[in-house]
Chains A and B, each alone.
Chain A
Amino acid sequence: MNFTEEQIERYSRHLILQNVGVEGQQRIMEGKVLVVGAGGLGSPVALYLAAAGVGTIGLIDGDVVDRTNLQRQVIHFTADLNVPKVESAANKIKLINPEVKVNTYKTLLMPDNAFEIINDYDFIIDGTDNFPTKFMVNDACVMAQKPFSHGGILRFEGQTMTYVPGSACYRCVFGGPPPKDAVPSCSQAGVLGSIAGMLGTIQATEALKYLVGTGDLLTNRMLIFDALKMKFREVNFTPNKNCKLCGEHPEIKTLEMEEMPACDLH
């Protein structure tokens, strides 16, 4: 691939980076990343991936922009109220970087469309807001052997881990969705808007590192931060032999989704 003058200028800060350079930038530009959920996490992820020049960005989200989103979902503007999130996000991506190809899916990721969609991508970002979908994204990625980044935020805290085939998966760590109402959601408990940016930019960085092939990914460890204390901590683990999905005696053979709690359906 030959870079145009414009591209050399646009990506100059990547090109002079020892761990990226021309080859790394080329890999970024050939990369395909799917962002599941164009919300709090998906916003910063999509913005940074677009600016970095990721070749194809897929956006999947069934919602329209709501006023309560604007406090943290920075890819959506006040003028985008009631516009489908994937459309609003795709417009901003094009404004930042017209070179990026954007695929939009105005729907929810479900067991019946998950493989068809994720198979087109190199790396998946989980920016979803409910546990049944989080586990379904995990299961689909593990079954399809696709690397992905898990992200979760609540109040002033965030957690993230990266899966690549062979490493511990989200189900290795958490087993399965918590019982209904055992864990509050952001809409019930609140979240500081910038927490979404802190966590989403970590996820975007993992995707870029994966595409470039540099550094150490957040595999077999969970990074957790508490922004009130502004402390980061890491929990290390190994693949769980009792994991129902990827353990020694797997029970989950087909992709399914546990029932979505009604309070999370909007």
Chain B
Amino acid sequence: MNIKINGKESAIESTQVSVAEVLKANGVQTVEMVTVQLNGAFIAKEQLESTLLKENDQVDFLYFMGGGSI
């Protein structure tokens, strides 16, 4: 299955893969650290485990970044 992760083409061998699994495989230690879009729409954290990906899906994730002042 071919999907796009943060804009990059990525081939996945398994056909049953959840958004959460893809995040983990891409170095996201906990889903609390990121916000995730599936095909351009934000997806609730509770749905990351249960949402399975299909061909040509696009996953984008953004880390929280808080620094600035101190």
Residues of B within 8 A of A186 (CB): 66-68, 70
What residues of B have a CB within 8 angstroms of the CB of A222 in the complex? 62
Decide: B6 and A233 in contact? CB cutoff 8 A. Answer: yes
Tell whether A182 pairs with B33 under 8 Å between CB atoms, given A172-B42, A240-B42.
Answer: yes
Binds B, one of A9-17, A97-105, A124-132, A140-148: A124-132
Q: Is the CB of B65 within 8 A of A237?
A: no
Is A151 part of the contact surface with B, judged by Cβ < 8 Å? Answer: yes
Q: How far is the CA of A31 from the CA of B35 in the complex (A)?
A: 34
Q: How far is the CA of A126 from the CA of B69 in the complex (A)?
A: 9
On whether the beta carbons of B64 and A178 are closer than 8 Å, the reply is yes
A-B CB pair tally, cutoff 8 Å? 101
Whether the pair A158, B33 counts as a contact (CB closer than 8 A) is no
Known: A178-B32, A182-B33, A183-B33. A237 touches B69 (CB 8 A): no
Give the docked Cα–Cα distance between A191 and B70 (Å): 11
Q: For B68, list chain A residues within 8 Å (CB).
A: 37, 39-42, 126-129, 151-153, 186, 196
| Residue positions of B touching A, CB distance < 8 A | 6-7, 30, 32-33, 35, 37, 40, 42, 44, 60, 62-70
Interface of A toward B, CB cutoff 8 Å: 37-42, 61, 63, 69, 126-131, 134, 151-154, 157-159, 172-175, 178-179, 182-183, 185-187, 191, 196, 222, 224, 233, 235-238, 240, 242, 264, 266
Other than the given A186-B67, A224-B62, A237-B42, 7 more pairs (CB < 8 A) read A38-B69, A129-B69, A152-B64, A153-B68, A173-B62, A182-B64, A222-B62
- Can you sample 20 A-B contacts with CB below 8 Å? A40-B67, A41-B68, A41-B69, A42-B68, A63-B70, A69-B70, A128-B68, A130-B66, A131-B64, A131-B66, A151-B68, A152-B65, A153-B67, A154-B66, A157-B65, A186-B66, A191-B67, A235-B6, A237-B40, A266-B70
